[in-house]
């Protein structure tokens, strides 16, 4: 397991991931996070020869796509604190694409100005403290370099998240309250704009995007939530209660299922592009 040099208060656990969650993430994210990631890469206008840092790269699907955009003259480094996900990503390594276990809170080993673009796709909402990482992203970017963030929007819980929240507030799970109501740390557009401005970035574009997502079943929706949260969705519960919580969540989700059993949710994502001053 990756151990931080210093603990980050409130940060999600990095100790709950397992091989099955990592494999599930690889499979499920291909039609979800990967799609928003490709759009983010297009918005950033990533082109041939650029040096790109993909922070929180997960199993590396997006980094691999970006490696195609930058071509042989460019290079992509994907970092993620979850060794099992970096293990899967590493099978994609090639001359212009490398993966390392690494953390947004510890980029010290990366030289100043060594990247043209920093990408965070579905990662920013996992960072409790955002100023430190943004300052580090600015340091490793050359002046005029770009940052692209696609993240969960503050104030919008999708149907799966709100059903999970209701289930976890019921007995016996309510005996194990989370320290915080939500496991992610979402921002509103104005907050992200202010964060950019105070950390040396010119906000170039901020946009909220709405879309509809479909999980094939209640079971798939629960699995997706666990894999995307690297085990944190039920991570605060004792092991013997986790399966009960999953079953309760599946039952509650089944009540809102479509006739074919699928679960439809809306998604609100905040996309932000900034330029390093
Ligand atoms: C939903 S996944 C997104 C993965 C990938 N970016 C994608 O587009 O599929 C969130 C990722 O954020 C990573 N993450 C969480 N905390 C992080 C941190 N402090 N630094 C870097 N990555 C982090 C997790 O390990 C996980 O792989």
pLDDT digits (tens, 9 = 90+) for 50-109: 999 999 999 999 999 999 999 999 999 999 999 999 999 999 999 999 999 999 999 999
Ligand 1 neighbourhood includes 231 CB (under 6 angstroms): no
Q: Which of 78, 79, 110, 126 to mutate to test the pocket of ligand 1 (most atoms within 8 A of CB)?
A: 126
pLDDT score, position 51: 98
* Tokens encoding 76: 């992509």
Ligand 1 neighbourhood includes 184 CB (under 6 angstroms): no
- Among 65-79, 167-181, 192-206, 243-257, the minimum mean pLDDT is found in 167-181
pLDDT score, position 65: 98
pLDDT score, position 5: 82
Residue 77 burial (C-beta neighbours within 10 Å; 0-12, 13-18, 19+): buried
Ligand 1 neighbourhood includes 140 CB (under 6 angstroms): no
pLDDT score, position 247: 98
Per-residue confidence at 180, pLDDT binned at 50, 70, 90?
confident
- Which is the closest atom of ligand 1 to the Cα of 54? 6
Residue 187, pLDDT > 80, answer yes
Ligand 1 neighbourhood includes 126 CB (under 6 angstroms): yes
Residue 190 burial (C-beta neighbours within 10 Å; 0-12, 13-18, 19+): exposed
Structural domains of the chain sorted by starting position, each given as residue range(s) with its CATH number in brackets: 19-156+182-213+267-276 (3.40.50.150)
pTM of the model: 0.97
Residue 179, pLDDT > 80, answer no
E strand or H helix that includes residue 136: helix 131-140
Mean pLDDT, the chain, rounded, equals 96
Ligand 1 neighbourhood includes 120 CB (under 6 angstroms): no
- Ligand 1 centroid to residue 229 C-alpha, Å: 9
Closest CA to 50 of 59, 37, 58, 41: 41
Ligand 1 neighbourhood includes 81 CB (under 6 angstroms): yes
- Ligand 1 centroid to residue 243 C-alpha, Å: 25
Strand partners, 138: none
pLDDT score, position 248: 98
Closest CA to 134 of 149, 150, 151: 149
Q: Which of 4, 8, 80, 103 to mutate to test the pocket of ligand 1 (most atoms within 8 A of CB)?
A: 80
């Amino acid at each position: 397991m990756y151990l931080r040099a210093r603990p980050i208060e409130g940060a999600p656990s990095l100790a709950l991931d397992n091989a099955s969650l990592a494999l599930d993430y690889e499979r499920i994210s291909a039609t979800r996070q990967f799609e928003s990631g490709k759009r983010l890469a297009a918005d950033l206008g990533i082109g041939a020869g650029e040096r790109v840092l993909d922070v929180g790269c997960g199993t590396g699907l997006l980094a691999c796509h970006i490696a195609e955009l930058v071509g042989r003259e460019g290079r992509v480094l994907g970092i993620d604190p979850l060794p099992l996900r970096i293990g899967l990503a590493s099978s994609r390594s090639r001359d212009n694409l490398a993966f390392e276990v690494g953390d947004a809170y510890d980029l010290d080993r990366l030289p100043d100005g060594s990247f043209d673009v920093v990408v965070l796709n579905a990662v920013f909402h996992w960072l409790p403290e955002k100023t430190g990482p943004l300052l580090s992203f600015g340091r490793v970017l050359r002046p005029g370099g770009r940052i692209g963030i696609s993240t969960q929007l503050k104030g919008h819980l999708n149907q799966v998240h709100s059903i999970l929240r209701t289930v976890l507030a019921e007995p016996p799970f309510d005996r194990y309250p989370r320290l915080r109501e939500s496991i992610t740390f979402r921002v509103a557009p104005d907050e992200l704009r202010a964060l950019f401005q105070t950390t040396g970035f010119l906000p170039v574009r901020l946009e909220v995007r709405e879309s509809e997502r479909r999980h094939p079943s209640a079971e798939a929706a629960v699995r997706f939530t666990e894999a995307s949260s690297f085990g944190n969705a039920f991570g605060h519960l004792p092991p013997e209660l986790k399966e009960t919580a999953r079953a309760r969540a599946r039952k509650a989700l089944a009540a809102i299922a479509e006739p074919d059993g699928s679960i439809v949710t809306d998604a609100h994502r905040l996309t932000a592009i900034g330029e390093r001053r």
